């Protein structure tokens, strides 16, 4: 089976989390770059990683990387790829692009040149002039960065944060893969208490429950490369069977609350669709009511930033209330994701650790207040 260079992309700030995921799946020889982790694998690994990776954005096959200072160099570089080994005669060839600090700064022109080179390469194999493009979709990415062109084939289709369970997205949803990354960074496991007092549409508690139940994030959705002739259906079937074999039905409870009735109802629906409704206890209440007699738990939450859902004054008031209530959970660890750079000032305490993450295009910070782990003081 053909080996590929596979690029798993992710949001800036969670590359190490994605790398740890790949290591836990048994991959080694990883090469971590800004916003991606590279490794080698075959078609089975493409199926397996699309289904199992929680923190990745997309999975690409990296086909070529070369210098391109003009359109002729771009054309020849793309032409040199064996496209006929990937795309069948009836395949839909859709080119997307981006350019950063490169002489070839016109993205539409780069896309056009790339498409023309791909078609020319396909003619070598099929000996025809016109391709009807009515079969499976092949999304080709041409990315230029400082005059280096990277040509890749997107195996995922829709972003991997689209798990398929979120029927109602709420007003300002947190991306599922970012929520999963925050839960993984919290060091939480299903033996410890877990609370999200700003659950919104339920993304954080649902992702935590899926981690606790070992439910693969992509088990319920389809991927672009499932329609490719080059990857047999049996590979996808086997990958899904292996993922389902790892699931458990262990009993544990996650607490999730919110004061907003609309998003609260959405959270219940989303949890049911994800198959984890039985692991999450939903309560409608304010953060001021937060308390627990349990020890060594985790608070993981994404309170309002004061940018889209509420005013800055309202957000500051929420942070001050959190600063009054959270110290009562004296053995707990608190992981608070916020796009408000004044969070610590309003909360009243500097974080033990601070990590910059991106939720889509929104720059956020994960403020980490670390309590003792169970069994340690």
Tokens of 98: 């981006």
- Asked: is 176-215+250-369 a CATH 3.30.420.40 domain? The reply is no
Tokens of 340: 């408000």
Q: What confidence score (pLDDT) does residue 377 get?
A: 47
Q: What confidence score (pLDDT) does residue 182 get?
A: 98
Distance CA 95, CA 244 (A): 34
* Domain-wise residue ranges, the chain: 4-154, 176-215+250-369
DSSP 267-331: HHHHHHHHT-GGGEEEEE--GGG---S--S-EEEE----SSSSS-HHHHHHHHHHHHHHGGGSTT
Q: Give the phi and the psi of residue 98 in degrees, each rounded to 5.
A: -155, 155
Tokens of 233: 């259906």
Tokens of 312: 């800055």
Distance CA 360, CA 295 (A): 34
Class of domain 4-154: alpha beta
pTM greater than 0.85 (yes/no): yes
Distance CA 374, CA 367 (A): 21
Please write down the long-range contacts of 31-35, taking CB distance under 8 Å and 24 or more positions apart: 35/9, 35/10, 35/11
Distance CA 132, CA 179 (A): 41
Q: Which of 325, 373, 314 is nearest to 349 (CA)?
A: 325
The answer to whether the beta carbons of residues 256 and 207 sit under 8 Å apart is no
Instruction: Outline where 127-202 has alpha helix (H).
Output: 176-185
DSSP 242-271: HHHHT-------EEEEES-HHHHHHHHHHH
Q: Can you give the pLDDT of all 377 residues of the chain as single tens digits?
A: 689 999 999 999 999 999 999 999 999 999 999 999 999 999 999 999 999 999 999 999 999 999 999 999 999 999 999 998 899 989 999 999 999 999 999 999 999 999 999 999 988 877 787 888 888 999 999 999 999 999 999 999 999 999 999 875 555 579 999 999 999 999 999 999 999 999 999 999 999 999 999 999 999 999 999 999 889 999 999 999 999 999 998 899 999 999 887 777 889 999 999 999 999 999 999 999 999 999 999 999 999 876 554 556 888 999 999 999 999 999 999 999 999 999 999 999 999 999 999 988 889 999 999 999 887 54
Q: What confidence score (pLDDT) does residue 168 get?
A: 59
Q: What confidence score (pLDDT) does residue 309 get?
A: 45
DSSP 98-143: EEES-S---HHHHHHHHHHHHHHHHHHHH--S-----SSEEEEEEE
- CA 210, 17, 270: angle at the middle one, nearest 5? 25
Tokens of 77: 């570089």
Bridge-based pairing of strands 280-284 and 254-258 is parallel
Helix, strand, coil abundance in the chain, percent, nearest 5: 35, 25, 40
Distance CA 283, CA 259 (A): 9
């Amino acid at each position: 089976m053909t080996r590929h260079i596979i690029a798993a992309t992710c949001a800036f700030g969670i590359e190490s989390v994605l790398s740890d995921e790949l290591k836990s799946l048994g991959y080694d020889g990883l090469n971590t770059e800004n916003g991606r982790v590279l490794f080698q694998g075959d078609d089975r690994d493409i199926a397996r990683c699309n289904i199992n990776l929680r923190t990745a954005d997309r999975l690409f096959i990296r086909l070529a990387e070369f210098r391109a200072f003009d359109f002729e160099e771009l054309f020849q570089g793309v032409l040199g790829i064996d496209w006929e080994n990937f795309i069948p005669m009836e395949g839909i060839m859709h080119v997307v692009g981006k350019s950063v600090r490169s002489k070839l700064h016109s993205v539409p022109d780069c896309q056009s040149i790339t498409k023309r080179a791909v078609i020319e390469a396909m003619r070598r194999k099929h000996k025809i002039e016109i391709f009807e493009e009515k079969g499976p979709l092949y999304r080709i990415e041409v990315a230029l960065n400082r005059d280096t062109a990277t040509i890749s084939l997107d195996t995922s289709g829709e972003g991997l944060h689209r798990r398929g369970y979120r029927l109602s997205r709420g007003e300002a949803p947190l991306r599922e893969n970012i929520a999963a990354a925050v839960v993984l960074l919290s060091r939480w496991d299903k033996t410890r208490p877990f609370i999200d007092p700003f659950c919104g549409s339920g993304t954080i508690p649902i992702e935590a429950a899926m981690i606790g139940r070992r439910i693969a994030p992509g088990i319920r959705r389809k991927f672009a490369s499932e329609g490719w002739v080059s990857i047999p259906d049996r590979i996808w079937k086997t990958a899904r069977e292996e993922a389902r074999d790892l699931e458990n039905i262990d009993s544990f409870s996650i607490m999730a609350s919110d004061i907003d009735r609309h998003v609260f109802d959405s959270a219940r629906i989303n949890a049911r669709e994800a198959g984890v409704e039985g692991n999450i206890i939903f309560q409608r209440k304010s953060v001021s009511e937060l308390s627990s007699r349990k020890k060594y738990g985790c608070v993981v939450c994404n309170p309002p930033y004061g940018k889209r859902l509420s005013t800055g004054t309202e957000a500051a008031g929420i942070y001050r209330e959190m600063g009054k209530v959270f110290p009562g959970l004296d053995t707990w660890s608190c992981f608070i994701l916020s796009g408000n750079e004044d969070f610590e000032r309003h909360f009243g305490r500097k974080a033990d650790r601070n990590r910059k993450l991106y939720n889509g295009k929104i720059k956020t910070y994960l403020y980490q207040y670390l309590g003792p782990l169970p069994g340690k003081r």
